[in-house]
Amino acid sequence: MVCHPRRSRLRASSRGVGGRPRALDTDGIEMARALYEMKGQDGKRTYTVQQITDRLGVGRATIYRNLDADDTQGPGSAEPASLARPGSSELSTIVVPGLGEHL
């Protein structure tokens, strides 16, 4: 029997199977975005990217990649509900573990 790895990979990719698992799921992306956009009374960000990466256990590049994901879609593009920004109609309150609820 002859193995055809390339053909197998192509079939798997057409089914959406294979590759490295994502470091952040949609809940993690939502939390990272909420923490990143949170601002204190002085108008400055409450958390640095390094603090967010420490809390979520991922690298800085992962945070930046996922924060920039919907910004690169361009104007007028539909934003998935799972990536909705705080204050949008799909998401009015964010619960951050250890910090409680934030609007």
Confidence of residue 17 (pLDDT cuts 50, 70, 90): confident
Over 60: is that where the pLDDT of 5 sits? Answer: yes
Q: Which domains does the chain have, with CATH numbers?
A: 21-102 (1.10.10)
How far is residue 50's CA from residue 55's CA, in Å, rounded to a whole number? 9
18 vs 50, more confident: 50
Q: What is 45-89 written as a DSSP string?
A: BSS-HHHHHHHHT--HHHHHHHHSTTGGG-TTPPPPGGGPPTTST
Give the three-state DSSP class for 30: helix
- Model pLDDT, residue 6: 81
Q: Which residues contact 23 (CB under 8 A, 6 or more apart)?
A: 58, 59, 62
pTM over 0.85? The answer is no
How far is residue 13's CA from residue 31's CA, in Å, rounded to a whole number? 29
How do residues 31-78 score in pLDDT, each as one tens digit? 999 999 999 999 999 999 999 999 999 999 999 999 887 655 444 444
